[in-house]
Amino acid sequence: MKLHAKSIIWSAAVLATAVGMTACSDSSSESVGPEPELVEIQLNGNVSGSLVAETAVLPESRAIINATHTQAVPLSFARLDMNRSDGSYPANGYASVTSALSASLAASSDGSASAITFTPTAYYLVGQTNNSTKLVGWHPAVDGTSVTYAAGVVTVPINGENDIMLSGEKVGSKTSPFDPFTFAHKLTQIKIEAYAVSEGAKTQWGKIKTITLKNQKPTCKIELPATVKFEGTAADLALVRKKATDDSALDAELELGVATVNTTDGSITATNAVECGYAMIEPIASGSTLSLEIEMADGCKEPLTINDWTTGYAESEAYTITLKFTATEINPQATISDWTPHTWGTNPGDFNGEVEL
């Protein structure tokens, strides 16, 4: 079997967001007089890691976040407020933040900017000095079960579908609003497709049952604001049985596409490859390898090792790996040997081949 790998850049959207969050004021640092008017936090943001716009309209269950999304995307944020008395932040940083804030990115069917809203709405700190706030956000949002937050650490399972994104930390106040946020994909996307070079190869190999990525870490931990770690005992991770293009389900057993071949010179003019699924995994450093196992419908298992290229498999990028299934036609050669005359015995009593009637 021969293996060909090529890379693609996946799509992402430019987003514009508006956000509000609750904040406590320290009345001891306020001047005597009426409470200043609360100012809602207004943010702008974008998702990094894309040069190609996604044009398809994607379903609500879409795991891969692209420019176009027809349903709201859940987010979480952590907020760190300045100490109003001396202008410092908590010495232990986000470890002092006891809970995450819930947010939602509005739908954008055409890839244009959409708003982020927080529940409940909240505001900048009041006061004219020592009134700054730090914010950092991530996806998937905290759900209390599989995605959790505790003392400045976000824990997300790597199940192939979770598109883990993290924004940079920003500082803002009502007199110096937040600069735009950028959400960056922290995983690598692997998409696999396959084709047969001929009908004969398709018949010989049969259908694909499963494709498994070997030695994958099961957990991502984000130590806010910016440290991303991958933990746990490495194990097999099956590809998500959906198309990366639109998240539609794939058949339980996948029939290989058959390449279109130029009858004149035998070159392949179109691979007609079929999608086999995708997975978002820990980035793979340069000098490492990606190992797969392909199980065919007849139970045959084919292990494959794909050597990386110079830059490895980087975060925020998607790689399409194409499996090329070939078959060698059986073309035996043979010759017919000459008959060798038998020499009868010549000794007395030996049968000499003569029979008297």
Q: Which two tokens stand for residue 46?
A: 């974008």
pLDDT score, position 180: 77
Phi-psi region of 287 (alpha: psi -120 to 50; beta: other; left: phi over 0): left
pLDDT tens digits along 53-111: 232 333 333 467 765 667 778 899 999 999 989 999 999 999 999 999 998 877 777 76
pLDDT score, position 347: 79
Q: Which two tokens stand for residue 142?
A: 């905290």
Residues β-bridged to residue 5: 321
139 with 88: CB under 8 angstroms?
Answer: no
SS3 readout for the chain: CEEEEEEECCCCCEECCCCCCCCCCCHHHCCCCCCCCCCECCCCEEECCCCCCCCCCCCCCCCCCCCCECCCEEEEEEEEECCCCCCCCCCCHHHHCCCCEEEEECCECCCCCCCEEEECCCECCCCCCCCCEEEEEEECCCCCCCCEEECCEEEEECCECCCCEEECCEEECCCCCCCCEEEEECCEEEEEEEEECCHHHHHHHCCEEEEEEEEECCEEEEECCCEEEEECCCEEEECECECCCCCCECCCCECCEECEECCCCCCEEECCCEEEEEEEECCECCCCEEEEEEEECCCCEEEEEEECCCCCECCCCEEEEEEEECCCCCCCCCCCCCCCCCCCCCCCCCCCCCCCC
Q: Which two tokens stand for residue 115?
A: 């708003």
pLDDT score, position 79: 95
Q: Does domain 188-217+232-325 sit in CATH 3.30.1370? A: no
pLDDT tens digits along 231-253: 999 999 999 999 887 788 999 99
Per-residue burial over 105-118, b = 16 or more CB atoms within 10 Å of its CB, e = otherwise: bbebeebeebebbb
Q: How far apart are the first and last CA of the chain?
A: 67
Nearest to 156 by CA among 169, 143, 167: 143
CA atoms within 13 A of residue 20's CA, in its CB half-sphere: 9
pLDDT score, position 120: 86
Please work out, in degrees rounded to the nearest 5, the angle formed at the alpha carbon of residue 201 by the alpha carbons of 199 and 204: 110
Query: pTM of the prediction?
Result: 0.77
| CA 299 – CA 279 distance, rounded (Å) | 23
Q: Which two tokens stand for residue 56?
A: 């398809």
Domain residue spans in the chain? 188-217+232-325
pLDDT score, position 287: 80
Regions of the chain short of the pLDDT cut 70: 1-36, 41-63, 66-69, 111-113, 308-310, 329-340, 342, 344, 350-357
pLDDT score, position 237: 97
Nearest to 47 by CA among 102, 104, 111, 109: 111
List of residues 6+ apart from 52 with CB closer than 8 A? 8, 9, 10, 11
235 with 216: CB under 8 angstroms?
Answer: yes
Peptide bond into 120 cis (omega under 30): yes
8 with 319: CB under 8 angstroms?
Answer: yes
